[in-house]
Amino acid sequence: MSIESKNIRVLSIYIMLCKGQHVNKKELAQSFDVNERSIQRDIDDIRAFLDEQNIASGDEREIVYDRIKKGYIMVGDEPTMLSSSEILAVSKILLESRAFPKRELNSILNKVINSCTPLKNKKIVNELISNEKYHYVELNHSEYIQDRLWNIGFDIYDSNLVIINYMRQVAQGELVKHIVEPVSILFSEYYFYLCAYIVKKDDSGRYIHTYNYPTIFRIDRIKYYNKLGQKFRKSYANRFEEGEFRKRVQFMYAGQLERVVFKFYGSNPEAVLDRLPTAVIKEQSDNEYLIESEVYGKGIVMWLLSQGNKIEVIKPKKIREEMRETLFNMLERYES
């Protein structure tokens, strides 16, 4: 018997097991015209391969004997690799996000799509996204930020205080220097953001928070970024929870935490509940819902105004006043 025929036999058995089929030694021995001991050795070889894969990549699959089916089956989880469907979904999301310059995006997409299996699926995914890739429009800043994301991520992990020069007003080129505690990287509306506490020295020389809430900086506007050479202390009890923060911030505008109560007029408040993850319906009647939500900053004012006459703010009073002031300023600009 040649090595080639043995390899074909082992691969055939492996494919059967991967498909969820049971393997009967006697049946396979007859099919391949070998004895059952040869089939047993093939199964042992596959077991040894899976053991090596477990060590190398976390493949938890193994071959066990099923007494009911009177054959061997494969059980356990495959390595955590994306399926072709997941790769297509991720590719579509990357294209829609417009988060990267075109050359950087193409590099990422190629790496993602190259993991498609079988090989024909790679061609299919490329075909399905080819038009979007061709017509992809970069954002105006077109800056490469992947390495910067990793550096910031490491400083968050390592609790490093950092110095940044931030371009607050792009048109005027106004740079503002801050020392910050970086606590999170967020993505929203085309851009990556650094969420950080601005700090200053107190009378004893310790760095303390300037505000009791974090500030949000668009990462492409950070023109200088460097470690201060000092670490900040993380308190587990008061640790920053980016998931909870993300549920309460709109359009990446930070600020004080507010509890907003408003009425929504319409047949279905689903879009409101999706937009405001902390929103709770307190009362409802025909086409009218009383909703309460906990939110950070002034971004909520922008969102509430975008809803027109579908929304009526009940409280707090200062949110209503900010909305009126914003509308007044918009009207003045329009009339002028």
Please say if the pLDDT value at position 39 is more than 60. yes
Q: Are residues 259 and 186 in the same domain?
A: no
Q: Are residues 158 and 228 in the same domain?
A: yes
Q: Are residues 155 and 212 in the same domain?
A: yes
Q: For residues 225 and 158, give the distance between their C-alpha atoms in angstroms, rounded to a whole number.
A: 16
Percent of the chain, pLDDT > 70? 91
Q: For residues 89 and 99, give the distance between their C-alpha atoms in angstroms, rounded to a whole number.
A: 16
Q: For residues 75 and 162, give the distance between their C-alpha atoms in angstroms, rounded to a whole number.
A: 49
Q: Which domain holds residue 129?
A: 84-134
Amino acid at the residue 321? E
The whole-number pLDDT of residue 81 equals 64
Q: Report residue 336's pLDDT band, with 50, 70 and 90 as the boundaries.
A: low
3-state secondary structure (DSSP) of residue 195: strand
Check: CB of residue 32 under 8 Å from CB of residue 7: no
Percent of the chain, pLDDT > 90? 37
Q: Are residues 171 and 214 in the same domain?
A: yes
Interaxial angle between packed helices 119-134 and 102-113, expressed in degrees from 0 to 180 and rounded to the nearest 10: 160
Check: CB of residue 279 under 8 Å from CB of residue 258: no
Q: Are residues 258 and 314 in the same domain?
A: yes
- With respect to residue 267, please indicate whether it lies within any of the assigned structural domains: yes
The whole-number pLDDT of residue 264 equals 95
The whole-number pLDDT of residue 208 equals 92
Q: For residues 297 and 312, give the distance between their C-alpha atoms in angstroms, rounded to a whole number.
A: 19
Q: Report residue 299's pLDDT band, with 50, 70 and 90 as the boundaries.
A: confident
- With respect to residue 245, please indicate whether it lies within any of the assigned structural domains: no
Q: Are residues 176 and 236 in the same domain?
A: yes
Q: Which long-range contacts (CB under 8 A, 24 or more apart) does 107-110 make?
A: 109/133
Q: Give bridge partners of residue 278 from the DSSP assignment.
A: none
Q: Are residues 234 and 291 in the same domain?
A: no
Tokens of 288: 């009218």
Locate the DSSP E strands across the chain: 62-66, 71-75, 160-169, 174-188, 191-201, 207-209, 215-218, 222-231, 257-265, 280-285, 288-296, 311-315
Check: CB of residue 199 under 8 Å from CB of residue 172: no
The whole-number pLDDT of residue 117 equals 64
Tell me the average pLDDT across 95-111: 90
Q: Report residue 57's pLDDT band, with 50, 70 and 90 as the boundaries.
A: low
User: pLDDT tens for residues 248-279?
Assistant: 888 888 788 889 999 999 989 998 999 899 99
DSSP letter at 249 equals: B
Q: Are residues 169 and 235 in the same domain?
A: yes
What are the counts of helices (DSSP H) followed by strands (DSSP E) for the chain?
11, 12
The last residue of a domain, from among 240, 264, 284: 240
State phi, psi for 224 to the nearest 5 degrees: -145, 135
- With respect to residue 248, please indicate whether it lies within any of the assigned structural domains: no
Structural domains of the chain, count: 4
Q: Give bridge partners of residue 191 from the DSSP assignment.
A: 188
The whole-number pLDDT of residue 324 equals 86
The whole-number pLDDT of residue 174 equals 82
- With respect to residue 213, please indicate whether it lies within any of the assigned structural domains: yes
Q: Are residues 311 and 228 in the same domain?
A: no
Residue carrying structure tokens 């050479």: 229
The whole-number pLDDT of residue 129 equals 94
Please say if the pLDDT value at position 56 is more than 80. no
Q: Are residues 110 and 193 in the same domain?
A: no
- With respect to residue 153, please indicate whether it lies within any of the assigned structural domains: yes
- With respect to residue 162, please indicate whether it lies within any of the assigned structural domains: yes
Q: Which of 8-17, 188-197, 289-298, 324-333 has the lowest mean pLDDT?
A: 324-333
Q: What is the CATH number of the domain that holds 257?
A: 3.30.70
Q: Report residue 58's pLDDT band, with 50, 70 and 90 as the boundaries.
A: low
Q: Are residues 130 and 56 in the same domain?
A: no
User: pLDDT tens for residues 175-214?
Assistant: 899 999 999 999 988 889 999 999 999 999 899 999 888 8
Sign of CA dihedral 64, 65, 66, 70: positive
Q: Give the H or E element holding residue 164.
A: strand 160-169
The whole-number pLDDT of residue 6 equals 81
The whole-number pLDDT of residue 231 equals 93
Work out the burial of residue 293: count CB atoms within 10 Å of its CB; fewer than 13 is exposed, 13-18 middle, 19 or more buried: buried
- With respect to residue 141, please indicate whether it lies within any of the assigned structural domains: no
Q: Are residues 107 and 152 in the same domain?
A: no
Q: For residues 305 and 185, give the distance between their C-alpha atoms in angstroms, rounded to a whole number.
A: 27
User: pLDDT tens for residues 148-160?
Assistant: 888 999 999 999 9
The last residue of a domain, from among 44, 75, 106: 75
Looking at 72-173, list the stretches that DSSP marks H as alpha helix, in order from N- to C-terminal side.
Answer: 84-97, 102-113, 119-134, 146-158
- With respect to residue 305, please indicate whether it lies within any of the assigned structural domains: yes
Please say if the pLDDT value at position 99 is more than 80. yes
Q: For residues 81 and 112, give the distance between their C-alpha atoms in angstroms, rounded to a whole number.
A: 10
Q: What is the CATH number of the domain that holds 67?
A: 1.10.10.10
Mean pLDDT of the chain: 86
The last residue of a domain, from among 192, 207, 240: 240
User: pLDDT tens for residues 232-252?
Assistant: 988 766 678 888 888 888 888
